């Protein structure tokens, strides 16, 4: 594992800088954080060890279906507004745990939780995202979890990996965008 100190201020700066970029066809509520090359799209075969990791992630995050539980556990930083792409689908809001944005990768320590806004004003937990700043990762190969290499997000200088373990994604469990997620109920 590789460690570095990265503050939530750095992540907030990344989001602010990215919000100033043009990122067509991404809509006004979309994700400049995820502009550029994306994770591979499509079905993925997972080994039994990787399936166990997904099951462990589900157990860990089961309590986060109630947003207040996620906040109480440390996912307090609203990293983004609701992200949606007119063509690719959505991601929802990204909430970060500043203590975990440390340059390490661990199945049981996702840095971000993703929530889709609902009609009733509540947030539906849909996925996690693991992020590692480029400068925190000195290995020659990208970070890897679940048998998947993280992909580069040049706009923000991070390695990223989404895991749609709570909301089925026709584009694939590790795709960035999910056509079943939208921001139509964002407030």
Instruction: Write down the residue that tokens 């320590």 correspond to.
Output: 109
Please, what sign has the CA dihedral across residues 150, 63, 181, 82? Answer: negative
- Greater model confidence, 111 or 24: 111
pLDDT attached to residue 141? 95
Q: Is the pLDDT of residue 2 over 70?
A: no
Which of 33-37, 116-120, 157-161 is predicted with the least confidence, judged by mean pLDDT?
A: 33-37
Identify the bridge partners of residue 127 per DSSP, sorted by sequence position: 114
Helix, strand, or coil here: 167? coil
Note the pLDDT of residue 45. Answer: 83
Tokens of 80: 């983004």
Mean pLDDT of 162-176: 96
pLDDT of residue 156: 78
The dihedral of CA 179, 38, 60, 133: what is its sign? negative
**Lowest-pLDDT range, 18-27, 41-50, 85-94?**
18-27
Residue 96, beta-bridge partner list: 77, 112
Q: What is the pTM of this model?
A: 0.81
pLDDT at residue number 9? 36
Question: Using CA atoms, how far apart are residues 146 and 185, in angstroms rounded to an integer?
Answer: 32
């Amino acid at each position: 594992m590789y460690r570095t100190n990265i503050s939530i201020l750095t992540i907030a700066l990344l989001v602010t800088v990215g919000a100033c970029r043009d990122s067509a066809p991404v809509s006004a509520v979309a994700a400049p954080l995820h502009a550029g090359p994306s994770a591979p799209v499509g079905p993925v075969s997972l080994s039994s060890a990787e399936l166990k990791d997904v099951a462990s992630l589900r157990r860990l995050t089961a309590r986060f279906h109630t947003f207040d539980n996620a906040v109480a556990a440390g996912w307090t930083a609203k990293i983004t507004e609701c992200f949606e792409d007119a063509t690719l689908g959505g991601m929802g809001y990204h909430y970060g745990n500043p203590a975990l944005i440390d340059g390490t990768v661990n199945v049981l320590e996702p840095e971000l939780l993703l929530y889709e806004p609902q009609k009733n004003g509540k947030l539906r937990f849909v996925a996690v995202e693991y992020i590692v700043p480029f400068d925190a990762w000195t290995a020659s190969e990208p970070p890897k979890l679940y048998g998947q290499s993280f992909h580069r997000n040049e706009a923000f200088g991070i390695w990223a990996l989404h895991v749609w373990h709570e909301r089925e994604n026709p584009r694939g469990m590790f795709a960035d965008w999910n056509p079943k997620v939208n921001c139509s109920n964002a407030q």
